[in-house]
């Protein structure tokens, strides 16, 4: 069992839908990171959060430290949101990657 | 500063050859990380530097792999006697200094990666 689990592994949505990707972790972390990776390999940092909620444009990330759970929400999804979304747990000198969620948004 | 850069972007080599990749982090970022990503998988942590000191090495980093960051700026990752299983995307990331905090996880900025193909 991975220390950082994501669900779902694959997600297909229609343009405009509200999307939620979940991340649960079983180890102590100091921060949780959401990354976006497009085909071809480029990785973009979306959020780093250690508590509460952050919002950037149509993206919202939340974390519940007590429940060891984080969610990434995409409002009004668009085909350009299609990518792999990776949850990363950050602990002291250790980085634990989730397996990623492949999102496909269809027009 | 244009972000983290990696060279080369692509490398094709024959099994048994040695390869070296370079990563230039964002200037003044004191932490530098190397990851490996195989097709369909998430990145796997390989090693991490704080300034010139290599502080953490994954079990994935076999004796054929060596990483250096001699002046605390750019880093190199060398793979000796490459094997077909080494074929992957090698990603580098850097993160900024966090004053007064030891070992905290900082936001990482990723380079474009070096795609290695071992024939």
pLDDT of residue B99: 53
The string of DSSP letters for chain A reads: --SEEEE-SEEEEETT--EEEEEEE-S--SEEEEEEE-TTS-EEEEEEESSEEEEETTEEEEEETTTTEEEEEESS--GGG-EEEEEEEEETTEEEE---EEEEEE-
Over residues B74-101, mean pLDDT: 87
User: Strand A43-49 relative to strand B75-79: parallel, antiparallel, unpaired?
Assistant: unpaired
pLDDT of residue A42: 79
Alpha-carbon distance values, B84 to A27, B78, B81, B117 (Å): 33, 15, 10, 8
Confidence of residue B32 (pLDDT cuts 50, 70, 90): very high
Confidence of residue B98 (pLDDT cuts 50, 70, 90): low
pLDDT at B56 over 50: yes
**Which residues on chain B are in Cβ contact (under 8 Å) with A29?**
105
pLDDT in tens, A9-67: 999 999 999 999 999 998 888 889 999 998 776 788 898 888 899 999 999 999 998 99
Regarding predicted confidence, which is higher, B60 or A34?
A: A34
Contact check, Cβ <8 Å, A99/B41:
yes
Contact check, Cβ <8 Å, A41/B45:
no
Q: Is-contact A63 A18, C-beta < 8 A?
A: no
Q: How far apart are CA A64 and CA A62, in angstroms?
A: 7
Please indicate if any CB of chain B lies within 8 Å of the CB of A66: no
pLDDT at B115 over 70: yes
pLDDT of residue B102: 43
Percent of chain B with pLDDT over 70: 90
Which two structure tokens, joined as six digits, stand for B29?
């970022």
Q: Quick one: closest CA in A to B104, which residue?
A: A92
Contact check, Cβ <8 Å, A31/B56:
no
Confidence of residue B103 (pLDDT cuts 50, 70, 90): very low
């Amino acid at each position: 069992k991975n220390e950082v689990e994501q669900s779902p592994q694959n997600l297909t949505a229609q343009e405009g839908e509200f999307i939620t990707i979940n991340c649960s972790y079983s180890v102590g972390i100091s921060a949780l990171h959401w990354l976006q990776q497009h085909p071809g390999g480029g990785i973009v940092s979306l959020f780093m959060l250690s508590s509460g909620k952050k919002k950037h444009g149509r993206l919202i990330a939340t974390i519940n430290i007590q429940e060891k759970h984080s969610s990434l929400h995409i409002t009004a999804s668009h085909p350009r949101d299609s990518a792999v979304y990776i949850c990363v747990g950050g602990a002291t000198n250790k980085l634990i990657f989730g397996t990623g969620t492949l999102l496909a948004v269809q027009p | 500063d244009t972000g983290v850069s990696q060279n080369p972007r692509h490398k094709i080599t024959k099994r048994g050859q040695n390869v070296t990749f370079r990563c230039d982090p964002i200037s003044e970022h004191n932490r530098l990380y190397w990851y490996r990503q195989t097709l369909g998988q998430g990145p796997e942590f390989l090693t991490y530097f704080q300034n010139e000191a290599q502080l953490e090495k994954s079990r994935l980093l076999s004796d054929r792999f060596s990483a250096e960051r001699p002046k605390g700026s750019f880093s190199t990752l060398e793979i000796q006697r490459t094997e077909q299983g080494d074929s992957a995307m090698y990603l580098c990331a850097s993160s900024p200094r966090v004053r007064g905090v030891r070992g905290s996880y900082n936001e990482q900025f990723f380079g474009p990666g070096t795609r290695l193909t071992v024939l």
